[in-house]
């Protein structure tokens, strides 16, 4: 069944071929995107996702197609037209369509689209057993804080993980751990959490932010700093965070067990509290 699609102010389905071949999103990856989750047709943390989209558009000087209000109204109508209750919404804004040239006009009309899609979120068994990961060099550009659609390096890293029979690739640069190919990465050592600080090397994950808040509320210390790759094998727990996975334990890195190879107590606590926060 085709998905419900919002495209430049109207609703259609993903069956319609809406995009021009000279759209800069297609030609140059000149676009940013968002993915948010909905549960019982209610968008989860939509304000956080809208603000990140807005920051990304401002960073690459694409004009903003929505205000927070009109974005919310679009999302509500999209979900009202959607045939199922839980899933994800993919949103993309490109600089727009125009004759292909590296030089772009300052006055382009952005292309704005969003569609809802069914998504199988991890079940209790997966959440308990967690995932295995590999490490791989971070080959991305130097503005990873912008959620750009240029995901080639991420996709190649993800493929490498898939070929290794694991779920995620953890990206390493200059001897330190940055984040996952589609997630943020956290280590737990001696009762403290360590995760990369917000800068140009990582995406400011919405779940990352909530997980840190929950940890601080629980009086768990959080050190935001680069984790040396050598530290990867000297910790009791590890987890990743993302909209689609929530808080997900990491039980094995490059074939070596993390801690005792089971979901640890801090990960379990944050996972439970995060799942609860999503439904509030």
Hey, which residues are catalytic here? 147
For residue 212, the number of C-alpha atoms closer than 13 Å in the C-beta half-sphere is: 16
Q: Tell me how far, at minimum, the Cβ of 107 lies from ligand PMP, in Å.
A: 30
Assess contact for 228 and 276: CB atoms under 8 A: no
242 binds ligand PMP (CB under 6 A): yes
Binding mask of the shown chain, residues 145 to 184, with x at each position contacting ligand PMP by CB under 6 A: ----------------------------------x--xxx
136 binds ligand PMP (CB under 6 A): no
237 binds ligand PMP (CB under 6 A): no
Number of residues that bind ligand PMP (CB under 6 A): 13
Structure tokens of 9? Answer: 């102010």
Binding mask of the shown chain, residues 34 to 53, with x at each position contacting ligand PMP by CB under 6 A: -x------------------
Q: Tell me how far, at minimum, the Cβ of 204 lies from ligand PMP, in Å.
A: 8
> Per DSSP, which regions of 95-236 are E strands?
111-117, 131-137, 168-173, 176-180, 184-189, 192-195, 222-224, 227-228
Structure tokens of 255? Answer: 């074939």
Interface stretch with ligand PMP, choices 84-92, 203-211, 248-256, 258-266 (CB under 6 A): 203-211
Q: What is the distance between the alpha carbons of residues 86 and 40, in angstroms, rounded to a whole number?
A: 6
243 binds ligand PMP (CB under 6 A): yes
What are the φ/ψ torsions at residue 160 (nearest 5 degrees)?
-60, -40
What are the Cα distances from residue 168, in Å, to 54, 69, 162? 28, 35, 8
Residues that bind ligand PMP (CB under 6 A): 35, 179, 182-184, 203, 205-208, 241-243
């Amino acid at each position: 069944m085709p998905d419900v699609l919002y495209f430049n102010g109207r609703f259609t389905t993903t069956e319609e071929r809406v995009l021009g071949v000279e759209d800069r999103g297609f030609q140059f990856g000149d676009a940013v995107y968002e993915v948010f989750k909905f549960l019982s047709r209610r968008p989860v943390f939509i304000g956080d996702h809208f603000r990140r989209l807005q920051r990304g558009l401002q960073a690459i000087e694409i004009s903003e197609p929505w205000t927070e209000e009109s974005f919310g109204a679009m999302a509500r109508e999209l979900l009202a037209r959607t045939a199922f209750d839980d899933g994800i919404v993919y949103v993309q804004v490109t600089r727009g369509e125009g004759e292909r040239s590296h030089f772009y006009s300052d006055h382009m009309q952005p292309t704005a689209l969003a569609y809802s899609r069914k998504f199988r979120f991890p079940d209790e068994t997966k959440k308990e057993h967690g995932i295995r990961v590999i490490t791989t060099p971070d080959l991305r550009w130097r503005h990873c804080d912008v959620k750009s659609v240029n995901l080639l390096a991420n996709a190649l890293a993800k493929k490498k993980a898939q070929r290794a029979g694991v779920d995620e690739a953890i990206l390493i640069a200059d001897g330190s751990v940055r984040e996952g190919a589609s997630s943020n990465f956290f280590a737990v050592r001696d009762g403290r959490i360590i995760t990369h600080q917000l800068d140009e090397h990582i995406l400011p994950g919405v779940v990352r932010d909530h997980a840190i808040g929950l940890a601080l509320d629980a009086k768990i210390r959080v050190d935001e700093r680069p984790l040396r790759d050598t530290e990867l094998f000297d910790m009791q727990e590890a987890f990743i965070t993302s909209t689609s996975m929530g808080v997900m334990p990491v039980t094995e890195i490059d074939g070596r067990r993390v801690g005792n190879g089971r979901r640890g107590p801090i990960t379990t606590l944050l996972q439970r509290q995060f799942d609860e926060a999503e439904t509030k």
